[in-house]
Structure 1
Amino acid sequence: MRRFLAIVPLALLAACGGTPAPDATSTPSVLVSLTQAKRGSAPDYVTAYGSATPATNGTQTLSTAQAGQVSRLAVTPGASVRAGQALVVFATDPSAVSAFQQADTALAAARKQRASTAQLLTQQLATRDQLVQAEKAVADAQASLAALRRQGAGQPERTLTAPFDGIVTAVPVAQGDRTQPGAPLVTVARSGGIVATVGVDPADSARVRIGQAARIVRLSGGAAIAGHVIRVDSLLNPKTRLVDVDLAFPAGALLTNEALRGDIAVAEVAGWLVPHRAVVTANGPAHIFQIVGGKAHSVPVKLLLSGETTDVIAGALDPRVRVIVDGAFQVDDGAAVRWAGR
C-alpha cells in the first residue's frame, strides 16, 4: 500500500508533462532606492591624526633661580587653576639666603665707607679718586643685592602662583624634592591655549594653509568639532616624519592628550553630487545607474571626489532621471528594477 501511494503522485506528474513550468509573465527585478542628482560642490579634505596638546605659546613653566626644596605641592596634573592661585611652596636653600644676607651687609659697609671717604675729602685727607672708588663699591653692592632679591634669594620661603587661568599640565617634582637652580617645578597651560596637533603627510602639506576650515573628530567617538588651521610647520617632525599642523577649536571642547582626527578642507570640488553608495567602482570604470523605462541604465562617470556620504562626479547624467542608490551594486545594465511606490 505504501509503495502504491508513493507511485501515484509520480505517475500523475508524468501524466501532466513533467515538472511545472515557471510563470512566463513574471519578470525578476531588484528592489532599489532612488534619488535625484544635483549640481553643487563639496570640500576636499586632507585627513591627519594627532592629539590635543598645549599650544607652543600657551604654556608657562615655573621655576626658581635658586636651589632649594619643595615644601608643599598645592596642585596635581590636570587641575584647573585661577590666576594667582598657589601652586608650589618652595624653601630657598640656606646658602642662597646666606649669600643675600652677605650682599646686604656688604652694601651697608660700602655706604659707610663712602660716607667716611666723603668726610675725609672735605678735610683734604682723601682724594676725589678715592671717593669715586667708594661710590663705585656702593653701586656694585646695590646691583648684587638687587639681583639676588629678584632671584628670590632674600625669601627663605616663597609661594609660586598661577600666572593666568589655566590647567596644570605637568608637575615634574614631588613634595620634599631638592632641586637645582632653574629646575622646572610646574607647567600651566592657558585656558583656551589647547590646540589639536595633527601630522600631515609631506605630500599633502603644500595644500594646507593657515586659516583653512577643519573638522575635528575624537577617535573615541562623538560629534565633529569645528576648527581652523593656525600653524603649519616647515619641517618634518623627527619622530613621526610628518608635518605638524595646529588646529584651533572652541575652548573646553577637547581635553589635553585626547586622540583625534583632523579633516582639513583644502579645496572645493564642483560637479554632480550623489550619495557615495550610488557610485559603482567594482569590476571596471566608475559608473552609476539611472532609471530608464523601469530598467537600470549604466552611465559612465568620472569620480572627482569620494566622501564618507557624498561623492562628486562628472558625466553625461540626465538631471530629470533618478539615480539608483541602494541596490546599485546588485543590478546590471538593462536589468528590471522596482522601488517603493511602484
Structure 2
Amino acid sequence: MSPRPIRPALAAAALAATLAACGQPPPAPPAPTVLVRTQPPTQGALPDVVTVYGAAAPASGAVQTLSLQQPARVDTILVAPGALVKAGQRLIAYSLNPQAVSAYRQAAAALKLAQDQQTHAAQLFAQQLATRDQVAQAEAGLRAAQANLAALGQQGAAAPSGGLSAPFDGVVVSIPVAAGDQTMAGAALVTVARSTGLVVTAGFDPGQAARLRVGQPATLQSLSGRPAVAGRVLRIAGALNPRTRLVDADIGAAGGGLILGDAFRAAVTVGQVAGWLAPHVAVLNDGQRDYVFQVAGGRARRVDVSLVRSAGDVDVIRGPLDPRLPLVADGAYQLDNGAQVRTAAAK
C-alpha cells in the first residue's frame, strides 16, 4: 500500500520546525496582491450642464387677453381655466349695458336724421332755395353721424348681446370674472395662450445665467412622470426677477406638448468640460480630497485629483496623472497607496 500524501500545511510546519531547530527563521509569507482592472489614461470632454427647475407657462407674445369695448354683464362662462379650446369656440356669453345699447340706437337715429337733412338741403339747393353753405353743413352733419355710428359698431355696441370666442387653438389661462359680473369697457374677461406657445420658465443663478445663450440645447424632464423632451433656450431675461432674485429664461420644447403649470427639471448644456476621463467607480474620496490610483511597477500609486463633472458612469477629473501609467478603472476601493496589484485590462 502506497504511503498517504503529506498535506501542504503539515509539510510547511515540518519545514518551519526543521529550520527553527537549525536556528534559521521561517521564510516570510508572500505579500498579498489585489486584482484590479486598468485602462490607459485618456483625455476628453463632457457636456457642462446646468440644472434648474421651472414650470410650463405661456411665452411672451403667445397670449391674448379678450375684452369688450363697452360696459357689459357676463351672462355665462362656458369654459374653465386650463381648458383646451379650438379657434372660434365660444368662451363667454354677455349682454351689453342698457346705456351702451341706447347710445347705439341714438346714433342710428341721428344718422337717419342727418340723411334726411342732407337730402332736403340738396333738393332746396336744386330749386335755388338753399345756399351752397347750407348744403355743405348738411353733408358734414351726415359724415359725422356716419362716423359716430361706425365707431360704436366697431366697439361692439351694434348687438345688445353676444359672445367672446377663442382667436386660435390654445388653452385658457385665466378667467378673472364670474357669471353675473358687471364689467367696465376694456376690462379683461378671459386670457388664452396658443397651444404651441408654452415654454418652461426657469430661474437661473446670475453666475450661471452669464453662460446662457439663446439656442443652447436642453432636456426637459417633467416632475409628473411624463417622458423627457428636448428643448432649446428661447429667451433670457435682462434683469433679475424681483420676487426670486434669479434670472428667468424661457426654454421651448421642440415638439410642443407641454402642459400649462406642469413642473419641470431643465438640464441646459452651456458648454464643454475638458480633462481626464475616468470611470465613476475609479474616483474615490477620503473626506478631504478626490483621488485615483495608477499602477507603477506592479504597485498602486495614489494621485490626488479634482472632480470637475460627473455624467452617469463617467467623470471628468483634473490632476497630475502620468499618461504612461495605467489608470485603475475597477477595484480601486480595495487599494492603499503602494499596495501590490495584479492587473487586467478594463472591459
Please say whether Structure 1 and Structure 2 have the same fold, judged by a TM-score greater than 0.5: yes
Whole-angstrom distance in 2 between the partners of 1:221 and 1:293: 51
**In 2: Cα distance, 1:137 partner to 1:146 partner:** 14
Deviation at 1:328, TM superposition (A): 4.2
- Is 1:332 aligned with 2:318? no
Aligned amino acid, residue 201 of structure 1: D
Counterpart residue number, 2:189:
185
**Who is 1:321 aligned against?**
326
Say if 1:37 and 1:323, in contact at 8 Å, map to a contact too: no
Question: For 1:329 and 1:130, how far apart are their aligned partners in 2?
Answer: 107
**Structure 2 regions of 5+ residues with no counterpart?**
1-27
Where 1:185 maps in the other structure, the secondary structure is: strand
Deviations, residues 167-221 of structure 1 (Å, cap 9, x unaligned): 1121222222221111222111101110011111112222111111112223445
Provide the C-alpha distance between the structure 1 equivalents of 2:35 and 2:259, rounded to a whole number of angstroms.
Answer: 47
Q: Which deviates more, 165-174 or 274-283?
A: 274-283
2:125 aligns to what SS in structure 1? helix
Q: Which residue of 2 aligns with 1:271?
A: 275
Q: CA 1:103–1:283 in structure 2 vs 1: closer, same or farther (change >3 Å)?
A: same
Listed one character per residue, the Cα deviations across residues 267-302 of structure 1 (whole Å, up to 9, x for unaligned) are: 112232223443234444432123456643212334
Say if 1:68 and 1:180, in contact at 8 Å, map to a contact too. Answer: yes
Q: 1:297 aligns with which of 275, 296, 301?
A: 301
Asked if structure 1 preserves the Cα contact closer than 8 Å seen for 2:36 and 2:328, the reply is no
Who is 2:265 aligned against?
Answer: 261
Which has the higher mean CA deviation after the structures are superposed, 304-313 or 222-231? 304-313
Q: Structure 1 CA distance, aligned partners of 2:285 and 2:212?
A: 29
Q: In structure 2, which of residues 49, 54, 58 is the aligned counterpart of residue 54 of structure 1? A: 58
Which residue matches 1:14? none
- Match of residue 108 from structure 2: 104
Correspondence 1:163 to 2:167: yes
Does structure 1 retain, via aligned residues, the 8 Å contact 2:56–2:263?
Answer: yes
Kept after mapping to 2: 8 A contact 1:198/1:245: yes
TM-score normalised according to structure 2 size: 0.81
What is the aligned partner in structure 2 of residue 72 from structure 1? Answer: 76
Return the alpha-carbon distance in structure 2 between the equivalents of residues 42 and 294 of structure 1.
31
Aligned equivalent of 2:92: 88
Code of the aligned partner of 1:192: T
Under a length normalisation based on structure 1, what TM-score does the superposition of the two structures give? Answer: 0.82
**Pair 1:145-2:152 in alignment:** no
Which residue of structure 2 aligns with residue 172 of structure 1? 176
Give the total of aligned pairs.
319
Q: CA deviation at 1:223?
A: 4.7
Report sequence identity in percent: 48
Q: Is the 8 A contact 1:290 1:324 kept in 2?
A: no
Deviations 1:207-264 (A, max 9, x none): 1111111122234456542111110111111111111110010345432112222222
Q: Return the letter of the residue paired with 1:323.
A: V
Q: How far is the alpha carbon of 1:114 from its aligned partner?
A: 1.0
Cα distance in 2 for partners of 1:207, 1:112 equals 72
The code of the aligned residue for 1:138 comes to: L
Query: 2:76–2:93: 8 Å Cα contact kept in structure 1?
Result: yes
Counterpart in the other structure of 1:119: 123
In the alignment, is residue 218 of structure 1 matched against residue 209 of structure 2? no
CA distance in 2, matches of 1:341, 1:304: 25
Taking a change above 3 Å as real, the CA distance of residues 137 and 171 of structure 1, as seen in their structure-2 partners, is same
Residues 1:303 and 1:241: Cα distance change in structure 2 (over 3 Å):
same
**Greater mean alpha carbon deviation, residues 161-170 or residues 252-261:** 252-261
Q: Which runs of 5+ in 1 are unaligned?
A: 1-23
Distance change (3 Å), C-alpha of 1:93 and 1:161: same
Q: Distance in 1 between matches of 2:188 and 2:159?
A: 19
Contact 1:278 1:328 in 2 (8 A): yes
Whole-angstrom CA distance in 2 between matches of 1:300 and 1:341: 23
Structure-2 change in CA distance of 1:328 and 1:156 (3 Å): farther
RMSD over aligned CA atoms reads 2.9
Counterpart Cα distance in 1 of 2:226 and 2:31: 46
